[in-house]
Amino acid sequence: MYSSQRWKTMAMAAVVVLQLWFSMEVESSSSHHPDHNITRLPGQPHVDFQHFSGYITVDDQKHKALFYYFVEAEINPASKPLVLWLNGGPGCSSLGVGAFSENGPFRPDGEVLVRNEYSWNREANMLYLETPVGVGFSYSKSSSSYVAVDDEATARDNLVFLQRWFNKFPQYKHRDLFLTGESYAGHYIPQLANLMVEINRKEKLFSLKGIALGNPVLEFSTDFNSRAEFFWSHGLISDSTYNMFTSVCNYSRYVSEYYRDSVSPSCSKVMSQVSRETSKFVDKYDVTLDVCISSVLSQSKVISPNQMTERIDVCVEDKIVNYLNRKDVQKALHARLVGVRRWDVCSNILDYQVLNLEIPTISLVGSLVKAGIPVLVYSGDQDSVIPLTGSRTLVYRLARELGLNTTVPYRVWFEGKQVGGWTQVYGNILSFATIRGASHEAPFSQPERSLRLFKSFLEGRPLPEVF
Ligand SMILES: *[C@@H]1O[C@H](CO)[C@@H](O)[C@H](O)[C@H]1NC(C)=O
Ligand SMILES: *[C@@H]1O[C@H](CO)[C@@H](O)[C@H](O)[C@H]1NC(C)=O
Ligand SMILES: *[C@@H]1O[C@H](CO)[C@@H](O)[C@H](O)[C@H]1NC(C)=O
């Protein structure tokens, strides 16, 4: 099945892959695609910015095409940076989750779209990418492209996508570029950023100015094992279950066994008890939100395997699924369904190498910091799937390892007159922040605070100390 040795060869493989790219002719995709301009989406209110969507071919032989949605900044796009946003899963859609329920300009509501007042295109030109192939509207004409897809192939395709996308939008080629995303994008983004840094050493192709990662998977065991304490301290499990969840079978061990089809009796027993106490009527992506809203959050079904069988909820996700499956919407988006009957929030055809989960990417984050790329790790503080405590520990450890001293001591930050969360900065380059009251999908549940954090990140400034 999956090779557990795989990650050990990653570094070497990345070098090989890089050489391949250099010898590859980067063609302009414009000729394949008529016009990606979106005149108007069905039900869309009038707006003054432009948006675009369509396909960029990333592999000519295998006919792999990635679908993107690009929203120019609301005001003065020429003076604003370019920001790539990726959702995780692996296998979930940045269009459906990121653009239409988190930080994009519109949200579906029945037959119409309503404006999101806190859309990130107030601050930047936002590029949402459905990746890898098999996710959302992205496809390959060869179904073998959906088998055994891994982090390495995904990073390569994402890179080729950007190079070719720049051919179509040359005015953005030298624009300040930020990479952002959440959850499993804790793998995608550092891997993509490192490839860019490698390429830039030879020829400066990317004006990479920073990366931001929300509730990211950075180091399997630290991230996953912080769940027990989060459950316990939020009253979701009892003292005795907490003890078992930390001594008999911890969560990283369970996930590891689960994906190897070898769940031990002791882990099975512990997980049953944990599931019973936490209850399926509590949203693990936000332990304080009511459960209906969690439908959006199926994006992390892979990193939360015990929830995989849960029924899909109504509300936001349903509206998005309905909207994006309308023929008139697909036509307006220049999207088509290839090899699938419908658009899904998370792919049913992608067969991802889920054990790539165990590859630590925190060291890649360290390489980026060493290369001078500012990094922000932020956490919606009500998420139990990738809890803030694990991320905070990882950032702290990394800062110590890199010899970075604290430049902004742990303190609150403000949005409006209220505390938006806590933050700490190391060496003026590596930042950690929480977003108070936010879920795994922080911009979904705390849009205003998330936009504030995004603005500070783009400006390269610490979060507001006073109001
Ligand atoms: C895209 O379409 C809009 C609406 O029709 C139009 O105003 C705009 O000029 C078009 N942009 C491009 C680049 O063609
Ligand atoms: C989790 O369990 C594994 C396997 O039993 C063990 O190696 C690891 O140290 C444990 N981690 C924590 C944080 O308890
Ligand atoms: C960090 O702080 C220590 C102790 O104050 C100091 O010795 C060291 O030079 C500082 N490192 C940097 C990179 O500023």
- Provide CB contacts within 8 A for 155, sequence distance 6+: 14, 188, 191, 192, 195
List the beta strands (DSSP E) in 319-361: 351-352
pTM attached to this predicted model: 0.89
Which atom of ligand 1 lies at the shortest distance from residue 37's CA? 1
Q: Residue 360's Cα: distance from chain center in Å?
A: 16
Domain-embedded: residue 166: yes
Tell me, yes or no, if 383 is annotated catalytic: yes
Pocket of ligand 2 contains residue 393 by CB under 6 Å: no
Tell me how far apart the alpha carbons of residues 423 and 193 are, in angstroms, rounded to a whole number. Answer: 24
Task: Write out the two tokens for 73.
Answer: 């900044």
The answer as to whether 323 is a domain residue is no
Q: Is 107 helix (H, G, I), strand (E, B) or coil?
A: strand
**Using CA atoms, how far apart are residues 221 and 144, in angstroms rounded to an integer?**
31
Return the residue whose CA atom lies nearest to atom 1 of ligand 2: 250
Per the annotation, the verdict on 35 as an active-site residue is no
Residue 45: asked if its preceding bond is cis (omega within 30°), the reply is no
**Catalytic-labelled residue, pool 183, 300, 304, 384:** 183
103: domain CATH number?
Answer: 3.40.50.1820
Measured CA to CA, the distance from residue 441 to residue 116 in angstroms comes to 15
**Is position 300 within any domain?**
no
Q: Is 39 in the pocket of ligand 1 (CB under 6 A)?
A: yes
Q: Say if 9 falls within a structural domain.
A: no
For residue 283, the model assigns a pLDDT of: 81
Confirm whether 205 is domain-assigned: yes
- The answer to whether the bond into 90 is cis (omega within 30° of 0) is yes
Q: Residue 363: CB partners within 8 Å, gap ≥ 6?
A: none
C-alpha–C-alpha distance, residues 154 and 87, integer Å: 13
Q: Is the CB of 50 under 6 A from ligand 1?
A: yes
Adjacent-strand bridge partners of 208? 177
Total of domains in the chain: 1
Q: Could you write out the DSSP letters of every residue in 156-205?
A: HHHHHHHHHHHHHSGGGTTS-EEEEEETTHHHHHHHHHHHHHHHHHHS--
- The answer to whether position 43 is within a domain reads yes
Find out whether the beta carbon of 37 lies less than 6 Å from any atom of ligand 1: yes
Report whether 109 contacts 370 (CB < 8 A).
Answer: no
| Rounded Cα–Cα distance for residues 242 and 230 (Å) | 10
Asked if 69 and 128 count as a contact pair (C-beta separation under 8 A), the reply is: yes
Does residue 294 belong to any structural domain of this protein? no
| Residue in 383, 431, 445, 456 annotated catalytic | 383
Question: Could you identify the atom of ligand 2 that is nearest to the CA of residue 251?
Answer: 1
Per-residue pLDDT tens, the chain, 467 aa: give them. Answer: 223 332 322 332 333 333 333 333 333 344 334 589 999 999 999 999 999 999 999 999 999 999 999 999 999 999 999 999 999 999 999 999 999 999 999 999 889 999 999 999 999 999 999 999 999 999 999 989 999 999 999 999 999 999 999 999 999 999 999 999 999 999 999 999 999 999 999 999 999 999 999 999 999 999 999 999 999 999 999 999 999 999 999 999 999 999 999 999 999 999 999 999 998 888 888 888 776 544 444 544 455 554 433 332 337 788 899 999 999 999 999 999 999 999 999 999 999 999 999 999 999 999 999 999 999 999 999 999 999 999 999 999 999 999 999 999 999 999 999 999 999 999 999 999 999 999 999 999 999 999 999 999 999 999 999 98
Calpha distance 212→323 (Å, rounded): 29
What's phi and psi for 431, nearest 5 deg? -120, 150
Examine residue 426 and state whether it is found in any structural domain, yes or no.
Answer: yes
- Please give the residue range of the domain that contains residue 192: 37-221+349-459
